[in-house]
Structure 1
């Protein structure tokens, strides 16, 4: 995932419009109440694989999972309850087989919604044809799951 920052910076007056700055997504970090449960969820639901976390091999340190395209999910254990944010604050995962994810959610008695918040529905109204759902991980983080794998990058 790449984010073009030059236009935003130019609007904000930070740098001239002719400058070209880019930032590349490296990782997303989440705090969870049960690290092993969360790692298992992301493996089973989305097929993510765990990768070695450099420097932090001791229990309780972040566990890293490969999201793809060089981006990682860092799962950090916390000892206090977590209050999940509203659905509008989410991260998105693109999967090759959305039906497989939905089958997992059904099998494990987890819910999902469409964009409008209708439980058990799949958003099919996007003009680009991408199907998407929203679901929550075991700690309540909202995840948009879509099948935009064939859509060209922006």
Structure 2
């Protein structure tokens, strides 16, 4: 009997530890903050071109626009950049749309130039998994990818 108790105690301790680890959750994206020069123009772009819904922001100081970009995530535009700057395409935001053709028509209708990943104008990229992608800039020069990934 004495030989059984230590292994049983060890098993109980290990199972408690394993259960605690299993209950830990990964972090969830809360928001992405983008510092902008022209808040009104950039807010209009994200609202009207990307059709992202605005949500109330708590500051009410004319320096913030908040958007709902997922079930639990937000995009925060914050006025205060000294100027519009150039950004590298590798650092981009990415949004998915249900139909690429309709989105490309919206870009054309609003005279927003777009390109493939390789930089070919007016041409979507087709990834090896079949997902189509286009790249363009917001009014602040931030690169945006829009794709038709269905998850």
TM normalised by structure 1 equals: 0.77
Q: Name 2:99's counterpart in structure 1.
A: 97
Rounded to whole Å, the distance in 1 between the matches of 2:134 and 2:62 is 33
Gaps of 5+ in 1: 1-17
| Bigger fraction of residues in helix | 2
Q: What residue number does 1:147 align with?
A: 148
RMSD over aligned Cα, in angstroms? 1.8
Query: For 1:53 and 1:69, how far apart are their aligned partners in 2?
Result: 17
Which residues of 2 match residues 79-98 of structure 1 at below 5 A? 80-98=82-100
> In the alignment, is the contact (CA less than 8 A) between 2:115 and 2:123 conserved in 1?
yes
Deviation at 1:139, TM superposition (A): 0.6
Q: Deviations over 1:86-137 (max 9, x none)?
A: 101111111122223212221222111111111110112x222111111100
The equivalences for 1:1-154 within 5 A come to: 22-54=26-58, 56-60=59-63, 62-78=64-80, 80-124=82-126, 126-148=127-149, 150-151=150-151
Q: Contact 1:41–1:138 at 8 Å: present in 2 too?
A: yes
Query: Structure 2 length normalisation: TM-score?
Result: 0.78
* 1-structure distance, mates of 2:76, 2:86: 17
Gaps of at least 5 residues in structure 2 are: 1-20
Larger of the two Rg values belongs to structure: 2
Identify, as 1 or 2, the structure richer in strand: 1
